[in-house]
Amino acid sequence: MDDTLLEERPASGVALLRLNRPAVLNALNLAFTRLDADASVNVIVLAGSERAFCAGADLNEYVDAAPPEIIARQMGRLWDAIASCRKPVIAAVRGHALGGGCELAMHADLIIAGDSARFGQPEVLVGIMPGGGATQRLTRAVGKFHAMKLMLLGAPMTAADALAMGLAC
């Protein structure tokens, strides 16, 4: 198994997929699709660590990359694998869910936020726009004005804020 993922089977039909890249706060990877094909799995719970669900893309991988190189990475494969999953996907969020990590959570069918969860789209702080669907998914989840505030200011929101806005349950 990919060392960036830890898979557990806490109950019959349940696959717990835990992102495991603490050195980069669980930066995204592309190892999700296998669970959708597994007939013994009825629901997928996507989780990170206590410190971070997923802090988004590993920016060290993007520093010197030209746009064609970034496009060639086909990050859409990750989003498509979750969005087209035939099984319910639950994002169990504790700690940071920032940038691509927040977008990853929004691709799930449900977001369950622990008290320590912090959601945000801080890309604007480094001069880029969210690239994993936040401009559409966040707007649909919380409404235009909340989404614009989150994406234009780059400030994180707490689990209570996410619950109040309708992002988490």
Q: Is the dihedral of CA 164, 165, 166, 169 positive or negative?
A: negative
Sequence ranges of the domains in the chain: 5-165
Catalytic residue among 57, 105, 108, 147: 57
Q: Between residues 24 and 144, which one has the greater pLDDT?
A: 144
pLDDT average, residue stretch 151-168? 95
pLDDT average, residue stretch 4-26? 78
Instruction: Say yes or no to pLDDT of 110 above 80.
Output: yes
pLDDT average, residue stretch 107-112? 95
Closest CA to 98 of 28, 6, 4, 5: 28
**103 is a catalytic site residue:** yes
Q: How confident is the model at residue 1 (pLDDT cuts 50, 70, 90)?
A: very low
Catalytic residue among 101, 123, 134, 162: 123
Range in 34-38, 77-81, 140-144, 165-169 the model is least confident about: 77-81
Range in 46-50, 109-113, 127-131 the model is least confident about: 127-131
- Measured from the Cβ of residue 134, the count of other Cβ atoms closer than 10 Å reads 22
**What is the pTM assigned to this prediction?**
0.85
Q: How confident is the model at residue 42 (pLDDT cuts 50, 70, 90)?
A: very high
CATH superfamily of 5-165: 2-enoyl-CoA Hydratase; Chain A, domain 1 (3.90.226.10)
**55 is a catalytic site residue:** no
Tell me the average pLDDT of the chain: 85
Name residue, tokens 């929004």.
Answer: 106
Burial 72-107 (b: 16+ CB within 10 A, else e): eeebeebbebbeebeeebbbbbbbbbbbbbbbbbbb
C-alpha to C-alpha distances, 13 to 35, 37, 80, 136, nearest whole angstrom: 11, 13, 22, 31
Q: Are 11 and 44 in contact (CB under 8 A)?
A: no
pLDDT average, residue stretch 26-41? 75
**57 is a catalytic site residue:** yes
Interval 58-99: pLDDT, tens: 666 666 778 788 777 777 767 777 888 899 999 999 999 998
Catalytic residue among 103, 113, 117, 133: 103
**100 is a catalytic site residue:** yes
Catalytic residue among 48, 95, 100, 132: 100
